[in-house]
Amino acid sequence: MEISLEGKVALVTGVGPNIGSGVALALARYGAKVACNDLDPQAARRAVERIERNGGTAIAVPGDVTDEQQVLAYLRTTTDTWGRLDILVNNAAILGGRGVLDESTEFFERAVRVAALGNFLNTKHAGRYMAEHGIRGSIVAISSSNGWSGSAGVIAYAFHKGGVNNFVRAAAMDLAPYGIRVNSYTPTAPTPDNPDLIAEQGPGGILQNPRGGIGRESGTEPWRRPARWSGHRPPLVPMGSTGTPTDIGHCVAWLCSDYARLITGCDLVVDGGARAKNFAYLPAAAEELAGPVPLVPLDVAATRDQETVP
């Protein structure tokens, strides 16, 4: 089965250097023209540069996903540039925060607003464009393992990811009569494979380099109890790896292809079995796990650069 997105135009929101950039690259490598959106114009440009050095076609369309006029403007730029829109990936979100005892009203409100309005406004206006022009397109939202099970230290993130899950199912019902599919994918803390991000933060990913993003320190009152185990962690993922943004990109590209024409209102889990695992189950030691098959790389330019390093 040869996945092809040739002739399709995609818009990806939140193309920061980890998951968003990886998904945008994957869609481009499978043949789509990709409009890269981010609140940070530099992040959008860097995503475009990564796509272009790998032979793809992309434009930067920075803007705030919570501002309806800005959403309409970057959607119009996309359709004016390439004449159509077939794929929307709602990836913009705010990671991090604190637990329910310590989270600020300001952070909670902003995180929920980005997820809620980002998914709503982009889906509404991309969906209207597709319906009006008879395009049986694909809309994909990013969920998270935190949207399906409880996790300490990220109350706002858990709240809005849970909302994303049912938004997808409801929007899928609204748009099904037009042949427009709406789905989500669930990753869990993927290991970075973007060379720019690795150079900036190191190779460990969020679980090794949380930078206060997950379960950061809370108060110092004497009644406090720890919310997270901070000691050595055994390998908790059955396949030994949560994967990379490239793994997610392959799956999203397939979900946006015509092979997935009857899949709507569903969630595609890309997490090495982490969500399926019973809480009491510990996989074998890391050295005893077979692990997944080798990764099919998408950032070919980066791979070549790595091969030339002595």
Q: What is the pLDDT of residues 46-93, one digit of tens each?
A: 999 999 999 999 999 999 999 999 999 999 999 999 999 999 999 999
pLDDT digits (tens, 9 = 90+) for 110-120: 999 999 999 99
The answer, yes or no, to whether residue 309 has pLDDT greater than 50, is no
Cα–Cα distance between 248 and 242 in angstroms, integer? 10
Q: Quick one: pLDDT at residue 191?
A: 80
Confirm if 205 and 129 have CB atoms less than 8 A apart: no
pLDDT confidence of residue 102: 94
pLDDT at residue 132 tops 60: yes
Angle of helix 155-175 relative to helix 105-132, nearest 10 degrees?
20
What band does 42 get if pLDDT is binned at 50, 70 and 90?
very high
> Crossing angle, helix 19-29 and helix 245-255, to 10 degrees?
50
pLDDT at 41 over 90: yes
Residue 215 has pLDDT above 70, yes or no: no
- Would you say 256 and 5 are in contact if contact means Cβ atoms under 8 Å apart? yes
The predicted pLDDT at position 212 comes to: 46
Nearest in space to 57 (alpha carbons), one of 36, 43, 84, 85:
36
Give the orientation angle of helix 41-53 with respect to helix 19-29, to 10 degrees.
40
Q: 245 and 296 in contact (C-beta within 8 Å)? A: no
Above pLDDT 70, what percent of the chain?
87
Least confident of 92-101, 120-129, 183-192: 183-192
Residue 200 in tokens:
């900036």
For 39-166, strand residue ranges (E) read 58-60, 87-90, 138-142
Distance CA 306, CA 22 (A): 18
Q: How high is the pLDDT of residue 282?
A: 85
Q: Tell me whether residue 171 is exposed, middle or buried, using C-beta atoms within 10 angstroms of its C-beta: 0 to 12, 13 to 18, 19 or more.
A: buried
Domains in the chain and their CATH numbers?
Answer: 9-219+226-304 (3.40.50.720)
Give all strands of the β-sheet with 267-270 in edge-to-edge order.
Answer: 58-60, 33-36, 9-12, 87-90, 138-142, 181-187, 267-270
For residue 199, name the pLDDT band (cuts at 50, 70, 90): low
213 Cβ contact partners less than 8 Å away, ≥ 6 residues apart? 95, 96, 206
What value does the mean pLDDT take over residues 134-140? Answer: 98
Distance CA 156, CA 112 (A): 7
217 pLDDT above the threshold of 90: no
Residue 75 has a pLDDT of 98
- What pLDDT shows up at residue 88? 98
pLDDT at 303: 60
Name, in order, each residue with C-beta under 8 angstroms of 174's C-beta and a sequence gap of 6 or more: 127
* Higher-scoring residue by pLDDT: 292, 65: 65
Whose CA is closest to 194, among 256, 115, 249, 114?
A: 249
Q: What is the pLDDT of the chain when averaged over all its residues?
A: 89
* Burial degree of 19 (CB within 10 A; 0-12, 13-18, 19+): buried
Is the pLDDT score of 232 beyond 70?
A: no
For residue 306, CA distances in Å to 28, 205, 299, 309, 310 come to 21, 19, 11, 5, 9
Residue 173, pLDDT above cutoff 90: yes
Please tell me the pTM assigned to this model. Answer: 0.89
| Mean of pLDDT values over 170-197 | 89
The pLDDT value given to residue 74: 98
**% the chain with pLDDT above 90:** 69
Cβ–Cβ < 8 Å for 213, 279: no
